[in-house]
Amino acid sequence: MFIPTLTESLLALPVLFTVYSIGLVVYRLYVHPLAKFPGPKLAAATRWYEFYFDILKGSGGQFMYETDRLHEIYGPIVRINPDELHINDPEFYDTIYRAGAAIRDKFPPSCLFAGTPQGTFGTVKHEVHRGRKAPLAVYFSRRVYRTAEPILRSQIDSFCERFANASHKGEVRDVRVDYLSTATEIVSLYAFGHTIGLHHSAEEAHDWLLTVKAIAAVSPFFKQYPYVAQWLLPCPEWLVAILYPVFAPSIRLHGRMKREAVEACKRVAELEAASGKAPIWDGSPETRPATVFECILHSSLPPSEKSVTRLDHDAFTAIFGGGDPAARTITNCTFYLLTNPRVLKKLQAELDAAIPDPNAMPEMQLFEDLPYLNAVMKETLRFQAISTSRLEVVCPTETLRYKDWVIAPGTPVGMSLRHLLHDPVFYPNPHTFDPSRWLDANGKINPTKDKYYVPFHRGHRMCLGYNFATTMMLMTMAAVVRRFELELVDTIYERDVKIVRDCFIGEVEPDTKGVKVRIVKVRE
C-alpha cells in the first residue's frame, strides 16, 4: 500500500490547487447559471478582476468606472464578476428594489463590510431585517423626530457662533470639518442623549474627519474581504493605534457604544423588575425613548434581538451613517452655491423674505416648505449621489425577467443610484447644477420629478433616517446662507469636490485640501 510522505503531499498541493482553479474557471465560464450573460470573460472567471480596479488601480475604488465602461460595451445588463449581475436601466429599478411583499435579501459583501452584522444595515436576511428595522423606522420618522427640534436649533446656533467668531478673526475654515462635527453631534444628541465632544475641540473635530476618511479608504478592501471589519472592531484600541492609528477613534467610540448599551440594558431591566412587565414604546412622540438603545429594548422584538452586540452595532451605524453623509452633502451644496452666484442670490432672496431676523430662526416646518431651498438640496443630492456603490440584493425565491434575460432565484443583482440620478432622459443636462429642474411653472416643487429621485435608495432597504437627515441639512444650509457671506479659498473642483473613488460613499482625491471658505461678513 502506497502512503505518500509529507514531502510528497506538500508537493502535490500546488498541483491540486492548479487543477481546482482550472476546474473552477471552466465551471464559471461554461456551466455557471450566469455563463450566458454578457460581460468580459476575465470578470466571469475571477474576482481578481474587480479586486484590481477597487484595490490596486490608482487610489482605489475604480470599479464603478469600469462598470460604466462595461455597460457601454455589453449593454444594460452585464455580468461583472463570477456571481453578480449589474443592470443600468432606470425602468428596472423598482423591480429589483420593490417594497411590499417582495423578499429581498442583501448580498453579504455589500453589507457585512461595515463590520456590524447584527445591526440593521448589516443584516442579510429579509425577514430579520424587517423586524430590526421596524422600531428604528418609527424612532426616525418625521412624526417623532420633530421632538428633536431644540437639539437641531442649539447645535446649528453653536455652529453659527463659531462661524461668526471666525469672520471676526478672518479665519479660513474647512467646512466639511464644521459640518461633520455639527451633524455628528446632532445625531449623537438625538440617538444617545449626549454629544461626543466635537464642538468643543477643533483638534478632535479634525481627527474625527481623518477617522471618517480612513474608514472610507478601506471600504473597498473590506468589501472584498467583508469579515475583516468584524475582526477589527473588537480589537483593543492600543493595538489598532499601533497597526492603523487613524482607525483608533472609531474603536474608542465602538467601546463607548458598547458600555452605553450595557447601561441601557440595566436601566430597562430595573424598570421591568419594578413594574413586573417589559416596557413597550407605543410609538408616540410624547413618550419617545431617550436613546436608540431604549428604542430597541422597549420594542416587541424577541430577547435574542436585544443583546448588547445588537444594540452596539446599530448605535455604531447610526453615528457614522447619520453624520458623514449629511456633512458631505452640505459641503457639496456650499461649493455649488458659491460657484453658481445666480442660484445663491435666488436662494438668499427666498430666505431673506422667509426669515427677516437671521438670529430668530423659524420652526423646522418652514424649511421643509420653502420651494427653492428644497430644490437646491434635491439638486445637490442628485448631482452628487451619497452612495456610489452598487446596491446588490438577492431574490431568494423569485425569478426576475429583464427583457429576454431570465435571472434565476438567488442571483445577486445590483444597480447604481448615480446612473438613475444622472439619467439624461429624465434629467436633461444631468451634469449641470440646476435647481430649477425641480420646480413647476408656479415655482413649487414638482412631484413628478421624483420618479428616479433615489439618493437615499428605495424599498425595504431605504435609509432609515432620510427624513431626519434632510431636515437637518435644510436647516443647516439655510442658517449658513441667511447669516453669512462666504467666499471659496484654494478650493479646486477636480481635487476637492469631484467624486473619483467608490468607498461606498463617494470620495474625492486623497490629496484633497478640503472645501475651504472665508466668512466675508455676517449678514443682517
As to burial, measured by CB atoms within 10 angstroms (0-12 exposed, 13-18 middle, 19+ buried), residue 72 is exposed
Contact present, 43 and 86 (Cβ < 8 Å): no
Cα angle 232-235-239, degrees, rounded to a multiple of 5: 105
C-alpha cell at 168: 471676526
C-alpha closest to that of 173 among 522, 517, 439: 517
DSSP 486: E
Say if residue 395 carries a ligand binding annotation. Answer: no
Question: What HEC string does 59-76 produce?
Answer: CCCCHHHHHHHHHHHHCC
- Phi, psi (rounded to 5 degrees) for 445: -60, 130
- Helices marked H in 414-508: 417-421, 466-483
Q: Which residue has the cell 435608495?
A: 457
By residue count, the chain amounts to 524
The number of angstroms, rounded, from the C-alpha of 291 to the middle of its chain's C-alpha atoms is 21
Contact present, 321 and 183 (Cβ < 8 Å): no
- Helices marked H in 225-340: 228-232, 237-243, 248-275, 292-297, 308-338
CA dihedral 205, 208, 212, 217 (to 10 degrees): 110
Residue ranges of the annotated binding site are 463
Residue ranges of the annotated binding site for heme are 463
